[in-house]
Amino acid sequence: MAAGRLTSTTTSNQSASRSGKPAGQSRPRRRRRSGAGRNQQSPATEPQLEVAVSNDDEVTETVAPDNRSFAELGVPDRLVATLAAAGVSNPFPIQAATLPDSLAGKDVLGRGRTGSGKTYAFVLPVLARLAAGGTKRRPNHPRALILAPTRELATQIQASITPLADALGLRSMTIFGGVGHGPQITGLRKGTDIVVACPGRLEDHVQAGHAKLGAVEITVLDEADHMADLGFLPAVRRILEATPATAQRLLFSATLDAGVDVLVRRFMTDPVTHSVDSARSPVSQMTHHVLHVQPDTRLPVLVDLTAAPGRSLVFTRTKYGAKSLTKKLIAQGVPAVELHGNLSQGARTRNLEAFSDGTAKTLVATDIAARGIHVDNVTLVIHADPPIEHKAYLHRSGRTARAGAEGTVVTLMTDDQVRDVRDLTRKAGIAATVTKLNADHPLLAELAPGERSFVEPTSRPVQQDRVASSGGSGSGRGNRRRRASGPAQQATGKRSSQTGSGQATRAAGGSRSSGRSKSRAGSGGPKSYSTSTPGSAARPAGAAAFSAGSRAGTSRRGR
Q: Strand pairing of 40-41 and 172-175?
A: unpaired
- Distance (Å, whole) CA 340 – CA 173: 23
**Contact yes or no for 220/145 (Cβ under 8 A):** yes
Instruction: Please tell me the predicted confidence (pLDDT) of residue 176.
Output: 95
266 and 293 share a domain?
no
Rounded to 5°, the CA angle 224-225-228 comes to 90
Is 339 a domain residue? no
Instruction: Please tell me the predicted confidence (pLDDT) of residue 124.
Output: 98
305 and 230 share a domain?
no
168 and 115 share a domain?
yes
185 and 300 share a domain?
no
The residue segments making up the domain with residue 266 are: 3-275
Q: In what order do the strands lie in the sheet with 407-413?
A: 336-339, 362-365, 311-315, 378-383, 407-413, 286-292, 433-436
345-356 vs 151-168: helix axis angle to the nearest 10?
A: 70
DSSP, residue by residue, 487-507: GGGGGSS-EEEETTT--EEEP
Nearest to 147 by CA among 365, 346, 371: 371
- Output the CA–CA distances (angstroms, integers) from residue 178 to 183, 393, 501, in the order listed: 13, 27, 43
* Rg of the chain, C-alpha, whole Å: 25
Is 127 a domain residue? yes
Which residue ranges in the chain fall short of pLDDT 50? 1-64, 278-283, 403, 458-559
Q: What is the pLDDT of residues 62-117, one digit of tens each?
A: 444 568 899 999 999 999 999 999 999 899 899 999 999 999 999 999 987 666 68
238 and 300 share a domain?
no
- Distance (Å, whole) CA 432 – CA 411: 9
pTM: 0.61
265 and 295 share a domain?
no
> How many domains are contained in the chain?
2
305 and 402 share a domain?
yes
Q: In CATH, what number is assigned to the domain containing residue 441?
A: 3.40.50.300
DSSP, residue by residue, 404-466: G--EEEEEEE-GGGHHHHHHHHHHHT--PEEEE--TT-THHHHHS-S--EEEEEPSSPPPPBE
Instruction: Please tell me the predicted confidence (pLDDT) of residue 115.
Output: 62
Nearest to 273 by CA among 128, 103, 57: 57
303 and 408 share a domain?
yes
- Other C-beta atoms lying within 10 Å of the C-beta of residue 86: 11
